[in-house]
Structure 1
């Protein structure tokens, strides 16, 4: 179990680092949006490129931060039922949910997005808008990264739930698993 705990700690640390880095992207996105609004309403000019930069940052933010959001336990779940359960039952649901739903979902996204992203790179896909950014293929590259980081965090969550359940079954004091 020591190796699994270290692995979980490494994955948690990785997603914490990524979340702290990408949180700055959120601030930058707000500043660019503010700039676009000022340019439009004060100076009467707009820019498709700046609009697309905001869309790119928004997409990257959500794709890359998904693993960290799972780590922070900020994903949507049915809290009406889940919060009233014992910590043991919560850990069982977390473990089973990650193994049966989250990890296969991430694997499916990895599998299906690989060719999708590859084809986008082959044609160096760009914006459909005149004057737009010509880096759609770069944005699409974050889809497999999303699945990979979210899947890694799902493995970490599974490990924490398994360690918690194992400690309960061995009558050890079980640390918080969340």
Structure 2
């Protein structure tokens, strides 16, 4: 579990850096466009790349922090044991299959993007779109890893 904490701490820091890039990049684009009358496609691409990466990586971070979206109508009324069972079933029946399928489906897209070192679809835009698309593999890999660790941790836990 120590390795998972270290990895997710690093991913969390990357997300914070990406959020700063999105904010400052968007602010500079707006100021340049409306105050100075010009803009740079490279800054726009950097903001788009950072935002796409932020969205993908923050899903894994929120899942690890147990802050993801839930539809919990009765969760507050249930015991801790019942909630753990529901979480176990959700991890086993929903999270694991969905993110394994996502990993499987995204692999060909990312592989072909890396094969051509895909860049921006805009003429004169930034190269490196293939790096952003790699987040489509990192996200499900992190969630699957975390889910498996949770499931194994539950199996190892002694009943109280």
Q: TM-score normalized by structure 2?
A: 0.88
Deviations 1:76-106 (A, max 9, x none): 1112222322111110111111111111112
Using the alignment, how far apart are the partners of 2:42 and 2:76 within structure 1? 45
- Listed as ranges, the matches of 1:124-135 within 5 Å are 124-135=117-128
Cross-structure match for 2:99: 106
Q: Which residue of 2 aligns with 1:25?
A: 18
- How far apart are 1:160 and its partner, in Å? 4.6
More moved, 66-75 vs 142-151: 66-75
| Stretches of structure 2 lacking an aligned partner (at least 5 in a row) | none
Deviation at 1:122, TM superposition (A): 1.8
Unaligned runs of 5+ in 1: 1-7, 172-178
1:23/1:108 CA distance change after superposition, 3 Å:
same
**Structure 2 match to 1:74:** 67
Please give the secondary structure, in 2, of the residue aligned with 1:73.
coil
Residue 41 of structure 2 corresponds to which residue in structure 1? 48
The number of residues matched between the two structures is 160
Rounded Cα–Cα distance in structure 2 between residues aligned with 1:88 and 1:78: 18
- TM-score normalised by structure 1 residue count: 0.80
